[in-house]
Amino acid sequence: MTSRIVITGLNHRSAPVEVRERLAFPADTIGHALRALVESDGISEGVILSTCNRVEVCVLAEEGYRGDEAVRRFLASFHGMTPAELQPYLYHRSGDEAVRHLFRVASSLDSMVLGEPQILGQVKDAYGYAAEFKAIGPILDKFFTKAFSAAKRVRTETRVANSAVSVSYAAVELAKKIMGDLSDNTVMLIGAGEMCELAARHLLNAGARGILVTNRTFERAVRLAEEFDGTPVRFEELTTHLKRADIVLSSTGSPRFILKRDDIADVLRVRKNRPMFFIDMAVPRDIDPDANQIDNVYVYDIDDLNNVIETNLEERQREAAKAEEIVAAEADSFRKWLEAQQVTPTIVSLRRKYEEIKAAEVGKALAALGEADPKTRQVVESLASSLLNKVLHSPIASLKRDCEEHSPAQRIAVVREVFDLPEEGEEEEGDAAQGGDDGRA
C-alpha cells in the first residue's frame, strides 16, 4: 500500500471571505458532500473541515492518484464553480507536509488568532461527521486521533493558549488583577452590544456575583439582563444604581462622556470609598479619564486593553516555538506508524511465498526419507524454518528500517523486484480466484 494523505483547501490568508463563504459546507450538506467525495476516483477516505476561516478537504489518495486534482474537481462541482476559478485560492499539502499541517491546525498554530481554542472542537466535529457518514477509514482515523493528541500536548505543555487576546477577555483579566476574587463583585454593563455581552459572559464564568444592565433602549437592556439572570436598569437611572457596581463595563455609541469625574466621585463617597473598576471599551470614550485620579477608582480604556493583548500575543509567540517542537515530534511518530502500515502487505507477501516454498521442499524431503520417525520429521521442519527466518531477516529488516534516503515506496519496490513478488492488486486477484483463501501456509 502506497496511498498518501493529501490536504487541499483555503483559509483566511489565501482567500477573501466572499470566496470562503461560497465554498463553505453547512452542517445540513456535509453528509451528501462526504459521500460524493469518497465516490471520487482514487479517493478511499475523506474528511471535510469547514469553519468561518478555512475550508479544507483531507483525503487518502490511492496509489497512482495525486488526490489534489480529484479534490479540486470535487470542490468545483459541489459548489457550482470551475476548477480554474478556485485555483488561485487553493493550497495543497501531501505526505509529511499534510501531517504537519493538520497537527498545526488542530493545535491552533495556523489560526488567525494564535492559540484560540475553538479550532480543536471544529476539527473534532469534522472527524465526527466523517465517522458518522462512513467516509473515514483506519488511516485517516489514526491521523486525526494523533492530531488530537498533538493538540492536547500543546495545550498542556505550553502556554500558547493561556493569555487573553480578545478585548472582552482582556477586560476580565484586568478585572481579576485589580479586584482579585470576583465572587463578591457586582458588574454593571453600560450598553447592550456584543462587546459588553461577551465580557459579561467571561465575568460570570470567572465568578462575578450579579449583573446590572443599562441601555438607552430599555428593551435591549431587559433582553440582555434576562439572558444572564441579571437586573435591567433604565438609562436615566444609571447614576442612582451605579453605587451597587464594583466593576463597570461600558461600550456605547455616545459622542461624549456618559460618566464624568464628579459623577464617579459622588458615587464613591456613597460607597464609602470601596474600590470601583471601570473598563471603557467605547470610542469615543464613555468614562471621563480624569476619574482615574480619584483614590480607589481605576479606569482603563481600549488602548490599555490593546496593550494587554499585545503583551499576551508576544508571550503566545514565544510559546509557539515550543508548540512547534511538539508538533514535529508527534508528526514524526505518525510518519513511522504510517510507513509500517505501508510495508506490512509486502512483508506478508514475502513470508507467504517462502512459507509455501518451505512446505513444498519439506514435503519432498520427508517423502525421500520414507517412513521417518517423528523426531526426524521435527528436525527437518525445524531446519527449514530456521533457514527461512535467516533468509527473510535482512529484507524484512530493510523494509522496517527508518531510512531518510529511500521512501517506503522505493524500499517496497526493490524488495518486490528482487524476490519476484506480485503487485498487491495481482495478489488480491489471485486470492479471489482461489475462493477467498488467503493462501497462507
**Could you count the other beta carbons within 10 Å of the beta carbon of residue 180?**
10
Within 305-430, strands assigned E span none
The rounded distance, in Å, linking the Cα atoms of 247 and 182 is 9
Q: At what angle do helices 96-106 and 118-132 cross, to 10 degrees?
A: 120
CA terminus-to-terminus distance, the chain: 22
**Could you count the other beta carbons within 10 Å of the beta carbon of residue 31?**
14
Q: What are the distances in angstroms from CA 187 to CA 211, 274, 388?
A: 5, 14, 79
- The H-assigned helical ranges of 137-209 are 138-157, 167-179, 194-205
Is 196 among the catalytic positions? no
| Residue 190 one-letter amino acid | I
Catalytic residue among 52, 58, 196, 403: 52
Find where cell 527437518 sits. Answer: 380
Q: Beta strand pairing status for 4-11 and 54-61?
A: antiparallel
Evaluate the omega torsion of the peptide bond into residue 284 and state whether it is cis, within 30 degrees of 0: yes
The rounded distance, in Å, linking the Cα atoms of 348 and 172 is 60
Angle at 383 between CA 382 and CA 385, to 5 degrees: 65
State how far Cα 115 lies from the chain centre.
11
Q: Are 32 and 26 in contact (CB under 8 A)?
A: no
**Could you count the other beta carbons within 10 Å of the beta carbon of residue 329?**
13
Is residue 305 within a helix (H) or strand (E), and if so which, with residue range?
helix 302-369
Residues 6+ apart with CB under 8 A from 246: 179, 184, 185, 186, 187, 274, 275, 276, 277
Which residues form the catalytic set? 52
